[in-house]
Structure 1
Amino acid sequence: MLSNEQIRLVKSTTPLLESAGTVITEHFYQRMFHHNPELQHIFNMSNQKSGRQAFALFSAIAAYAKHLDNLENLLPMVERIAHKHTSMNIQPEHYDIVGHHLIATLRELAPDQFTAEIEAAWVAAYQILAGVFIDKEAGLYHQRDNTQGGWTGGRQFKLVEKRIESELVKSLIFEPVDGRPVIGYQPGQYIG
């Protein structure tokens, strides 16, 4: 649990985050992909190029800093992000990498404002947030693994049908190569 002082310090960076905007997250992704190129396959590169991913991460970071003293406000966001993460098989060790590059980015972009005291508060806050996601995702993985048709990791599928739904929409129907059942996914649900 964060102390009142740590919460105050993290919240004090909200104006800095808001004024920098997606510059922070754009730098973060460039830095992380440079040092950890093995993570590029996890991210949709079209969303990287369009700026959607940088905006999404910035929005989540800014919301976390702003609502650090009332995390219940963030539960819908955590739920949505955790489902997306499990669709991409995000693992606990990924949070250490992301945390390292996030803190380094803040230090590099705002060296005067990002004091050692503020950095320590952000490290503690990030560790709590990472723990929330890791726990939530562990529950989702467990639920998925124990549902008929569930599995962890990769699984081979083959394309069995292409349907033209409209001028703009095409449906691709896949079946598992191993012939085992799959979970009954819902429309709009993230799947990996």
Structure 2
Amino acid sequence: MLDSNTIEIVQSTAPVLQQHSEQIGKKFYELLFAKAPDLYNLFNQTNQKRGLQQEALGYAVYAAGEHISNLDAIMPVITRVTQKHRAIGVRPEQYPLVGETLLEAVKEVLGSAATDGIIGAWGKAYEYIADAFIQIEHDLYKEAKEQTGGWEGFRSFAVTRKVAESDDVTSFYLEPADKQALAGFEAGQYLTIKAQIPGEQYTHIRHYSLSDAPGKSYYRISVKRERSNEGKPAGIVSNDLHDRIQEGDSILFSAPAGDFTLDHTDDHLVLIGGGIGVTPLLSMINTVADQFPDRKVTFVQAASNGNNHPFREHLSELENGRPNVRCFTAYSSPTEQDLGSGSFSHKGYIDAEWLRSILPSGQAVYYFCGPIPFMKTINKALKKLGIPKERIHLEVFSPVAMLDEE
């Protein structure tokens, strides 16, 4: 346990580190990759270019410092990070280098303000936090390996089917190349791909939500082609999957991971998805349909238009075949064909007023997922509608640890 003086120094200086988090994050990764360029194989370089990884680091350092005397207060953040660490293969021996580099970055950014006392206190705090992470990750590695059909590291999977779901979304059906047992998973979890792309110096790691219910003879992921847009680079991995990977090809994945998982209560289930954020929610509604057919579900999906509305037919079949399932769709930019067919529920973006008109009046549990702007909008809307925080669950497709709490 840390001594009281260390705790006091860390908590009092955490806001200073937060204030300079962007510079510290940038300097940290600059130093880290110079020392260990092989770590390029672990980190999402697109997120590096967009500054998201740096932002996530800054938030994590601040949150850990603020709650250093009670890490249980940020356990949701710790759980999410350790799940991803296990999925990408972070090892205990890498923690000392990260800690050393983080302190160097703090000293370079803060200069003389980073006194020996402050650096010493944060060094002790880092070791304390690292030990907690290492123990949790040890248990996660053991669980992933020892479960029925489980494995360690990355395992080869054959693409048995490749199905276009919309203009930009394609599903990949995956079966173990070794023909051995397939590990189970919880609806809402993800697979982590190690993509080995021709012409790329390093491997690329990405997380893709499982988009079907567990208990099948296959895994399924559904991937959106990320096109270049307004200075944002095209997705290296998503485009490689869409263009190069064909049925019969093999891909490497680590065992299923993630903490955004479906509860198994009887409460009315409300699922709200934006864009490709619909994928873990699809796994959830399919699981309910397979295992809990009497549970009520309201499924709300946001898309730009009918051309970019994946799984429309599947969800329509679920709704028509099950009286306890209701599906609603909001199109932000419906086509003329959409307007003529009336195949959507709401024109425009999802807002609190429209949600109020379609959500159940009784007790329900809420899950939502999508791009960051969408997530912030839904988070605010549910708060406006008076939904208790403990009944709200979310997944952010980004290394940013939390949504703004305005």
For this structure pair, what is the TM-score category when the shorter chain's length is used for normalisation? over 0.9
Is residue 2:169 matched to residue 1:169?
yes
Correspondence 1:183 to 2:183? yes
Q: Which residue of 1 aligns with 2:44?
A: 44
- Deviations along 1:43-63, one digit per CA (max 9) or x if unpaired, are 111111111111111111111
Shift of 1:188: 4.0
Cα separation, partners in 2 of 1:70 and 1:131, compared to 1, 3 Å: same
Decide which moves more: 176-185 or 22-31. 176-185
Correspondence 1:103 to 2:106? no
| Separation of aligned partners in 2, 1:61 and 1:117 | 18
Structure 1 contact 21–58 (Cα < 8 Å) conserved: yes
| Range that drifts further, 157-166 or 60-69 | 157-166
The answer to whether the 8 Å contact 1:84/1:190 transfers is: no
Structure with more contact order per residue of length (Cα contacts < 8 Å, sep ≥ 6):
1
* Counterpart contact for 2:156–2:178, Cα < 8 Å: yes
The question of whether the paired residues in 2 share the 8 Å contact of 1:32 and 1:98 is answered with yes
The 5 Å alignment of 1:1-192 reads 1-192=1-192
CA distance in 1, matches of 2:26, 2:113: 19
Q: Taking structure 2 as the reference length, what is the TM-score of the superposition?
A: 0.46
Moved more, 103-112 or 157-166: 157-166
Task: Give me the whole-angstrom Cα distance separating, in 1, the residues matched to 2:90 and 2:139.
Answer: 13
Structure 2 distance, partners of 1:82, 1:190, is 14
Distance 1:189 1:122, change over 3 A: same
When residues 55 and 185 of structure 1 are mapped into structure 2, their CA distance, relative to the original with a 3 A threshold, is: same
Deviations 1:83-137 (A, max 9, x none): 1111111110111111111011111111212111111111110001111110001
Counterparts of 2:50 and 2:177, CA distance in 1: 34
Q: Deviation of residue 15 (structure 1)?
A: 2.7
Task: Give, in whole Å, the separation in 1 of the partners of 2:165 and 2:95.
Answer: 39
Letter of the structure 1 residue corresponding to residue 77 of structure 2? M
Q: Distance in 2 between matches of 1:140 and 1:19?
A: 33
Mind listing any 5+ residue stretches in structure 2 that lack a counterpart? 193-406
Write the distance in 1 (CA, Å) between the matches of 2:34 and 2:90.
Answer: 19
Q: Within 1, Cα distance between the matches of 2:126 and 2:3?
A: 14
Q: Whole-Å Cα distance in 2 between the matches of residues 52 and 80 of structure 1?
A: 16
Please tell me whether the aligned partners of residues 24 and 106 of structure 2 are also in contact (alpha carbons under 8 angstroms): yes
- State whether residues 25 and 55 of structure 2, in contact with CA within 8 Å, keep that contact through their aligned partners in structure 1: yes
8 Å Cα contact 2:159/2:174 also seen in 1? yes
Deviation of 1:187 (Å):
4.6
* AA at the equivalent of 1:132: A
**Contact 2:22–2:58 under 8 Å retained in 1:** yes
Mapped contact 2:18–2:59 kept (Cα < 8 A): no
Q: Read off the aligned partner of 2:54 and give its amino acid letter.
A: A
Paired residues of 1:83 and 1:190 also in contact (CA < 8 A): no
Residues of 1 paired with 2:166 and 2:67: CA distance? 43
- Other structure's SS at 1:158 match: strand
Distance 1:149 1:109 in 2: 47
Partners of 1:41 and 1:76 in 2: how far apart?
Answer: 26
- Percent identity among equivalent residues? 36
Larger Rg: 2
Distance 1:122 1:37, change over 3 A: same
> Which amino acid is 1:134 matched to?
I
Q: Gapped runs of 5+ residues in structure 1?
A: none
SS in 1 for 2:191: coil
Most deviating of 52-61 and 181-190:
181-190
Q: Deviations over 1:151-178 (max 9, x none)?
A: 1122222222211122332111222211
Q: Looking at secondary structure, tell me which structure has more strand per residue.
A: 2
The letter for the 2-side match of 1:99 is G
The alignment partner of 1:111 has SS state of helix
